[in-house]
Amino acid sequence: MVVLQEVPPIDKLLPKLGEAYPFSSRISSAGPRVQGVVEACQGMVLLSTFPIITATKFQPVATAWPALLASLQIDDATRVSLAVVHAADPIRADGLAARDAFLHYLAEHLDTIHSPLIVLGDFNASPFTPAFREFQARTGLQLSPWNPATYPAGMRTLGISIDHVLVRDATLLRLEPLSSVGSDHRPLRALISVPVMGSAIPAGLAEDGKTGRTLPHRNSGEAGGGANTANIKRVAALSPVSALLLP
């Protein structure tokens, strides 16, 4: 799974990308109005080796960028929900208000989702930002214990962490920054394990403390039963990775 942010129309490239990622979805927006000016058109693209069952635009705040909400079919019994975020830039007062309002309404929506959930993207907020901490508390989403600096890309490890990968009812096994190519953000690559409902843990995985975990389910009373055992599927997520399309 690859997520591209701040990309222009790439319809001509999708057939070529489809050779590696047969499923894709794209949203675009004219951009939020900031101080009465419409910012440049931007888009998000989701590329996946897993079937994309649903993909919708979520824009509860007119002055904020929309999120891309999707559902991926990992196997016959398992779906994973995905939210791709590009929160408003908080440098200006109206951008700060738009970012915080967007995170508030997104948290309300994500609280209604009961499948394994991955939320990733440019939050324009550090892990210590009050609005981001409230977002985490409301949704139960978990960050990695290590949060690589992603912005500005040129400062590498001396930058700040404003691009994040969060999970719920899944385990973030690894998170690492990549070298930036043509972007002022460093991309992130994550390795995530997702429990497959009703499957036994293979013996080889059960002995591995990192990938053979029995993972709790957020609502064990749902149809299909709780995830008392889990056959681990691995999902690779990249965000923000618009630089991957550049030479």
pLDDT of res. 17: 79
pLDDT of res. 67: 93
pLDDT of res. 227: 31
pLDDT of res. 31: 53
Give, in order, the Cα–Cα distances in Å from 103 to each of 67, 95, 107, 168.
Answer: 10, 12, 6, 16
pLDDT of res. 221: 28
Low-confidence ranges of the chain (pLDDT < 70): 9, 11, 29-42, 197-247
The residue among 42, 31, 78, 97 whose CA lies nearest residue 240 is 42
Residue 159 DSSP label:
S
pTM over 0.85: no
The residue among 178, 172, 149, 156 whose CA lies nearest residue 236 is 172
Task: Write the pLDDT tens digit of every residue in 56-72.
Answer: 999 998 888 899 999 99
Task: Write the pLDDT tens digit of every residue in 103-116.
Answer: 999 999 999 999 99
Grouping H, G, I as helix, E, B as strand and the rest as coil, residue 101 is helix
Grouping H, G, I as helix, E, B as strand and the rest as coil, residue 37 is strand
Report whether CATH 3.30.2000 matches the domain 54-245. Answer: no
pLDDT of res. 13: 74
